[in-house]
Amino acid sequence: MSVRKRLVLLNPHLGKLGLGTMTRLVKAGSFPAVLSILEAMTPEDYEVVRYDNPLFVRYEPGLVAITSYTMNVHVAYRYADGFRRAGARVVMGGPHVMFRVEEALEHCDAVCVGEAETVWGGILRDYENDRLQKVYDGKPADNFWEYYHERLLKLEPWQIRNAILATRGCKFRCEFCVISSMFRGFRHVPVEKVVELIEASKQEYFSFNDANIYGDPRYAKELFKALIPLGIGYSALCSVDLAKDEEALELARQSGCAELLIGFETMSRGYAGKNPGKLRWWDEYRPLIRRIRGKGVRIKGTFIVGFDEDTSASLWRLFLFTLTSGINLSAAFVLTPLPGTELFRRMDAAGRILSYDWRRYDLWHAVVRPAQVSRAALIFWVNMILWQAVLFNPLAIALAIGWLIFWKYS
């Protein structure tokens, strides 16, 4: 059978709140690394079309690869349905459909469960021979980067920039995070290969795609040392324990680290005590923040409201902390039981999930029955922290003043 060698790579828009807000805080408008990697692994005789947060798409035959989160999977399903009606074959992956396979198969032809690098070649062959399987089990590979690295270097610099990845996985297993369920263990790309990507991206500033740049302290130090001669700047997701390692923190500064996004999550002794991991340092947050800021590194901090231990008093203390801790920009989100997480399994078993409408899983709506506060209170404190971050942020104030001056004299 003759098939149209047209590959559509689609990243659905994330919506106006919740996860969309958080993603734009981290790095605005960034095409997902996995889609750039899939393009790199695709033979050159394919015509490749990219859609990133599109408002409209052109439905045509071909092979369509869609990635999405839980909060925008309804958008992904709508696009998938449209492409299938146009005669396309649709493959879906990402941190929602890999845990809701049967649901996804109502909208697509195949689901990639796990890591795409090890199965993408087989998906292309099966598509070309009109024998797509319903499920592809992407087994994790220690050398995952070898599947795409050399071919990724041949893409445009902006595509390379969006796929700069030094590690995969996370050293922590937070019950509300899906990373540990998606990826086995913690693996890393050889430092010299990361440097090759950075140099090929021709960027003076970029963002790492890692879940935790300090996931392996020894590797992180080796990476930071290799970045120093490049004279670049970057941002990264990181755990706060970087600040407990003076050598690593200083190397991060020298290497060009300009901004860290840190998930502080909570100031609740009760929840942190029951869930150690990265929360074990909750009572050291202030001095650790001062150490990072003392190196000239900006901090974007994220927090979660809605833990069972949260009370009106503890949420007030959290609000005061975001005001006085020295974090450059804070954002709070409502505790959301994403499929694939231990939190989802626990709340589902307890009958505390109030809605399975994925449109409400944007980290903005309360879809779990809180233990000690009302759902309205959670939304109130999320908004309070969001607005204080805007109203008391020097950059936001400067922009507002600039706009007023422009409006007055233009």
- The pLDDT score that the predictor gives to residue 267 is 83
Q: Is pLDDT above 90 for 91? A: yes
What is the count of structural domains for the chain? 2
Residue 170 contacts residue 177 (beta carbons within 8 Å): yes
**Residues in contact with 155: Cβ distance below 8 Å, sequence separation at least 6, in sequence order:** 36, 39, 40
Q: Is pLDDT above 90 for 403? A: no
- The pLDDT score that the predictor gives to residue 2 is 59
Judge whether 109 lies within some domain.
Answer: yes
pLDDT in tens, 143-166: 999 999 999 999 999 999 999 999
Count CA atoms closer than 13 A to 375's CA, side-chain side. Answer: 11
Q: Is pLDDT above 90 for 266? A: no
CA distance 18 to 336: 11
Residues 207 and 355 in one domain: yes
Q: Is pLDDT above 70 for 206? A: yes
Judge whether 318 lies within some domain.
Answer: yes
Judge whether 126 lies within some domain.
Answer: yes
pLDDT (mean) for 9-37: 67
- The pLDDT score that the predictor gives to residue 404 is 54
Residue 199 contacts residue 226 (beta carbons within 8 Å): no
Judge whether 156 lies within some domain.
Answer: no
Residues 329 and 220 in one domain: yes
Residues 252 and 315 in one domain: yes
- The pLDDT score that the predictor gives to residue 161 is 92
- The pair of three-digit structure tokens given for residue 78, joined into one six-digit string: 């709508």
Judge whether 161 lies within some domain.
Answer: no
Judge whether 216 lies within some domain.
Answer: yes
Residues 209 and 283 in one domain: yes
Residue 179 contacts residue 135 (beta carbons within 8 Å): no
- The pLDDT score that the predictor gives to residue 191 is 97
Angle at which helices 246-255 and 285-294 cross, to 10°: 40
CA distance 66 to 386: 31
Judge whether 1 lies within some domain.
Answer: no
Please state whether beta strands 187-188 and 167-168 pair in parallel, antiparallel, or not at all (unpaired).
Answer: antiparallel
- As a whole-number percent, the residues of the chain with pLDDT over 70 amount to 90
SS3 sequence of the chain: CCCCCEEEEEECCCCCCCHHHHHHHHCCCCCCHHHHHHHHCCCCCCEEEEEECCCCCCCCCCEEEEECCCCCHHHHHHHHHHHHHCCCEEEEECCCHHHCHHHHCCCCCEEEEECHHHCHHHHHHHHHCCCCCCEEEECCCCCHHHHCHHHHCCCCHHHHHCCCCCEECCCCCCCCCCHHHHCCCCEECCHHHHHHHHHHHCCCEEECCCCCCCCCHHHHHHHHHHHHHHCCEEEEEECHHHHHCHHHHHHHHHHCEEEEEEEEECCCHHHHHHCCHHHHHHHHHHHHHHHHHHCCCEEEEEEEECCCCCCHHHHHHHHHHHHHCCCCEEEEEECCCCCCCHHHHHHHHCCCECCCCHHHCCCCCCCECCCCCCHHHHHHHHHHHHHHHHHCCHHHHHHHHHHHHHHHHC
Residues 316 and 225 in one domain: yes
Q: Is pLDDT above 70 for 23? A: no
pLDDT in tens, 29-88: 468 999 999 999 999 999 999 999 888 899 999 999 999 999 999 999 999 999 999 999
Domain boundary residue, one of 90, 121, 138: 138
Residues 109 and 184 in one domain: no
pLDDT in tens, 96-123: 999 999 999 999 999 999 999 999 999 9
**Residues in contact with 67: Cβ distance below 8 Å, sequence separation at least 6, in sequence order:** 10, 11, 32, 34, 35, 76, 92, 93, 94
Q: Which band of pLDDT confidence, cut at 50, 70 and 90, is reported for residue 242?
A: very high
Residues 79 and 208 in one domain: no
Residues 201 and 104 in one domain: no
Judge whether 162 lies within some domain.
Answer: no
- As a whole-number percent, the residues of the chain with pLDDT over 90 amount to 76
Q: Which band of pLDDT confidence, cut at 50, 70 and 90, is reported for residue 278?
A: confident
Residues 71 and 176 in one domain: no
List beta partners, residue 303: 265, 332
- The pLDDT score that the predictor gives to residue 181 is 86
Find the CATH number of the domain harbouring 59.
Answer: 3.40.50.280
Residues 177 and 44 in one domain: no
Q: Which band of pLDDT confidence, cut at 50, 70 and 90, is reported for residue 22?
A: very low
Instruction: Give how far the C-alpha of residue 307 lies from the chain's centroid of Cα atoms, to the nearest Å.
Output: 21
Residue whose entry in the numeric block shows the structure tokens 């198969």: 105
Residues 294 and 391 in one domain: yes
Ranges 82-91, 179-188, 228-237, 247-256: which has the least confidence: 179-188
Residues 205 and 337 in one domain: yes
Q: What angle do CA 110, 111, 115 make, to 5 degrees?
A: 135
Domain around 29: 6-138
Q: Is pLDDT above 50 for 24? A: no
Instruction: Give how far the C-alpha of residue 48 lies from the chain's centroid of Cα atoms, to the nearest Å.
Output: 24
CA distance 308 to 209: 31
Q: Which band of pLDDT confidence, cut at 50, 70 and 90, is reported for residue 232?
A: very high
Find the CATH number of the domain harbouring 351.
Answer: 3.20.20.70
Q: Is pLDDT above 60 for 21? A: no
